[in-house]
Structure 1
Amino acid sequence: MTESSRERGPAEGGRPLRRDAALNRERILQAAREVFSEHGLGVTLDTVAHHAKVGVGTLYRRFPTKEALIRALFEEDLKRRQDSAERALAHPDPWQGLVDFLTEMATDLAANRGLHEVLMLGAHTSAPIETARGGMLPFLDALIRRAQASGDLRPEVNPSDLPVIQHMLHSATRFAEGSRPEIWRRYLEVLLNGLRERPDNLPLTTPSLSDEDVESAMGIVRPGASGSPGGDAG
């Protein structure tokens, strides 16, 4: 065995990988990110292997199931969402913090079908991903309450409205992706104008979805949980 083949890369399962194995792993992850972003999670592992220019056996040695590959790929994406929410909560302007968070999330979801399916639809989920998805809800509650306390956000808005808004923006992207994939930015502006508190606002007459309704739609399962983490939606 040559010295170069004994070089170690990132750890997997507690054991460091050889350099060539580590490079194959990164190649597979990059290929999966590109394929899942463009086509969603319905593509096969064979397709990912072909895109990565590695043998199918090599892919299965690193990721024996699609769920294992998705978990490795999207746990970091979900952590970035929480980091984005923390930055928004630290922003000195509560309204701008909320706007920044909504814009960052919409940007990511517009460019990445796979992330949308994992985050918003609960596709190919796992316990670590469920923990990360569920962990977003308290952040949403804090962002909403903070912007309402400052008088910038209309009081009828609930944390459960934010996932619905993101799903609407993603749908706008898919509707016009062949010609105007960035059109979601226009509709985010429309929605922000409707969310902003103004003296002449007409009251919203249709109730929001409950936290439980949104969690059900997103496929979030909370075994043994008693109530939502964000408190009452009202």
Structure 2
Amino acid sequence: MTEMSRGAGSPDGDRPLRRDAALNREKILHAAREIFGERGLKVTLDDVARHAGVGVGTVYRRFPTKEALVRALFEHDLRMRQETAEKALAHPDPWQGLVDFLVLMAGDLAENRGLHEVIMMGTHSSASIERARGGMRPFLAELIERAQESGDLRPEVTPSDFPVIVHMLAGSSRFTQGMRPDIWRRYLEILLNGLRQRPDNPPLTTPSLSDEVVEQVMGFSRPEGKAQ
């Protein structure tokens, strides 16, 4: 019996192909997560194919454009960041909840260049990614408000300060060019000491960025149907 007749005679003849296709898709996503994390979104689908050890055609069959691959990877990551913010809001200690959120966000952006570009720069965005990015802001505002009401966070601090802070922390890791990728933790400790309210704190004399400037710098767009 030939291979063709075996496949034709069995209702399950195409299942190994579907299984192979699913495995290839997972291999591509895993490779893309690694290479986007290391090098950012400048890499091409050809680069992803080489990193995954599959043919370029295999990648294009699963993800016809780089934007499709970026969406598959980072929409999920952004939803996870929202879950992180929700857990931080549920922490009984407002200051610790804010610190936990900052630690996780700074670590994610320091260690994953692709995620940093998606969140901070709006690179390869889409309507669903924009909704997820914008959905983070109410959580952040509430985290800040809780910590200020508890007397732990300086009253001058605004939500627009935090994108700058996490961008600075991620930049500190890039500065070491791989020699000290964890250095962001040191600068987070320094920043937390400055953020915490103390009776002897001198007032901040330089105003924070406006929300409009932050939106412009981060490349926020407002797709049709997105709440203003």
Fold match by TM threshold 0.5: yes
Offset from partner CA, 1:123-170 (integer Å, 9 cap, x none): 111111011001111111001001001000000000111110000001
Aligned residue for 1:43, secondary structure, equals: coil
Maintained 8 Å contact 2:154/2:195: yes
Letter in 1 for 2:117: E
Indicate the RMSD between aligned Cα atoms, in angstroms: 1.9
Maintained 8 Å contact 2:79/2:132: yes
Letter in 2 for 1:75: E
Q: Is the alpha carbon distance of 1:4 and 1:29 closer, same or farther for their aligned partners in structure 2, counting shifts above 3 Å?
A: farther
Letter in 2 for 1:83: E
Maintained 8 Å contact 2:172/2:183: yes
Distance 1:225 1:29 in 2: 29
Between the aligned residues of both structures, percent identity stands at 72
Q: Is the alpha carbon distance of 1:56 and 1:192 closer, same or farther for their aligned partners in structure 2, counting shifts above 3 Å?
A: same
Maintained 8 Å contact 1:109/1:115: yes
Structure with bigger gyration radius = 2
Question: What does 1:218-233 align with in structure 2 at a 5 Å threshold?
Answer: 218-222=218-222
Q: 1:163 matched to which residue of 2?
A: 163
Structure 2 stretches of 5 or more lacking a match? 1-6
Distance 1:159 1:221 in 2: 18
Maintained 8 Å contact 2:117/2:123: yes
Maintained 8 Å contact 1:5/1:20: no
Distance 2:135 2:176 in 1: 31
Distance 1:40 1:201 in 2: 39
TM-score (norm. length: structure 1): 0.89
Maintained 8 Å contact 1:160/1:209: yes
Question: What does 1:34-45 align with in structure 2 at a 5 Å threshold?
Answer: 34-45=34-45
Maintained 8 Å contact 2:120/2:167: yes
Structure 1 stretches of 5 or more lacking a match? 8-16, 229-234
Q: 2:99 matched to which residue of 1?
A: 99
Q: How many residues align?
A: 219
Distance 1:45 1:136 in 2: 29
Deviation at 1:178, TM superposition (A): 3.0
